[in-house]
Amino acid sequence: MAKLLENNIQSQVKGLVQIENLSVGFRRKGVFTSVLDDVNFTIQPGEFICLLGPSGCGKSTILNTVAGFIKPSTGNVLVDYHRITKPGADRGFVFQQYSLLPWKTTFQNVEFGLKVRGVLKQERKELVDYYLNRVGLSKYRHAFPYQLSGGMQQRASIIRALVNSPSVLLMDEPFAALDAQTRHMMQELLLDIWQDLKSTVIFVTHDIEEAVFLSDRIFVMGVNPGHIKTMVDISLERPRHVDLMLTAEFMQLNRQVFDLIREETMKSMAFED
């Protein structure tokens, strides 16, 4: 079992993400609207990155492009030097909406990725059991999604992506629908698991506190069209716990990012008027 897990984790020392001259837009009634304009960045394997910005800045669009749901208008997305053209198991995705398959139990949902990739039954069971236990869902293994709370569903969604040992984990505001207490718990839990796995994480959020708490680096995004405005290094010590949020250091970083975001939000609101 130990070896199995180790293999499962070992394979995750990957996850180099390179975005080169990425632009995304769409044509509607002959008018071209740009959503993202000339985005460039590189994320090192094992980095935890937050994309932070007001709505309409294209943060989800970046994530969807890395996932392979959206094709770039120009530019390239490379994960471990492979050009992304379609979704794949090397990039796990956790959606904002509850996305467990309603007709599968918690166990079957988490197991699904392993099953479709032909992992043997015994091995599947060990891995799924380990992760269920890790996020405190062992008791709910046979429950259907409608019987789980929002937080439980998101925990199951996270380990469903992780059990596949993706090189990059893409998270699109996964905690946005949860209440504040649950959200803090989930953030801590996520960091806890990530600490072991060290896969690259790209996490989209509009919650500044969340971004500062989780990230190694925050990419602050701007609007009209969406672009990366600046990057902020968060060199807070790890492992991080919720009480970190009460320290002066944290609050200062929070303030700094807040001011950056405020500028953009003002701009986007002025534009809408």
Partner 1 sequence: MSNIPSERSLPAEFSGNLILAVKSWFDKIPDMASEAFSSKKRNQFLRRMLSLFLFFGIWQLLCTVKFRFWINFSFLPSPTEVFSATVNFFSTNAMIHIQSSLTRVLMGYLVATVLGVSLGILIGWFQKLEDLVFLPLELLRPIPAVAWIPLAILMFPDAESGMIYITFIGAFFPILISTIKGVEGVDVLLLRVGQCLGASQWYVFKDIVVPGAMPNIASGLVIGMGNSWFCLVTAEILAGRYGIGYITWESYVTSNYPPIVMGMLIIGLMGSVSSYLVEQLIHLLMPWRITKKKTA
Show the binding pattern over residues 54-83: x = contacts partner 1 (CB under 8 A), - = does not. Answer: -------------xxx--------------
155: nearest Cα among 200, 213, 106, 85: 106
Choosing from 48, 93, 131, 213, the residue that interacts with partner 1 (CB under 8 A) is 93
CB 232 to partner 1: min, Å: 28
SS3 145: helix
Stretch that binds partner 1, among 14-22, 38-46, 114-122, 223-231 (CB under 8 A): 114-122
Choosing from 18, 20, 45, 95, the residue that interacts with partner 1 (CB under 8 A) is 95
CB 15 to partner 1: min, Å: 15
User: CA-to-CA distance for 125 and 27, rounded, in angstroms?
Assistant: 47
CB 61 to partner 1: min, Å: 15
Residue 101 binding partner 1, by CB under 8 A = yes
168: nearest Cα among 113, 91, 95: 91
240: nearest Cα among 216, 267, 257: 216
Residue 27 binding partner 1, by CB under 8 A = no
CB 163 to partner 1: min, Å: 9
Structural contact between residues 39 and 32, judged by C-beta atoms closer than 8 angstroms: no
Query: Position of tokens 């091995």?
Result: 123
Choosing from 112, 140, 194, 203, the residue that interacts with partner 1 (CB under 8 A) is 112
Query: Position of tokens 């992780």?
Result: 162
Please, what sign has the CA dihedral across residues 211, 214, 220, 224? negative
Residue closer to partner 1, measured from CB, 32 or 103:
103
Residue closer to partner 1, measured from CB, 199 or 222:
199
Residue numbers 134-153 binding partner 1 by CB under 8 A? 144-146
Phi, psi (degrees; rounded to nearest 5) at 17: -115, 125
Residue numbers 158-177 binding partner 1 by CB under 8 A? 160-161, 164
DSSP annotation string for 70-137 = S--SEEEEEETTEEP-S--TTEEEE-SS--S-TTS-HHHHHHHHHHHTT--HHHHHHHHHHHHHHTT-
Tokens of 208: 């500044």
Residue 155 binding partner 1, by CB under 8 A = no
CB 273 to partner 1: min, Å: 33
Chain positions contacting partner 1, by CB under 8 A: 67-69, 86-89, 91-93, 95, 97-99, 101-104, 112-113, 115-117, 144-146, 160-161, 164
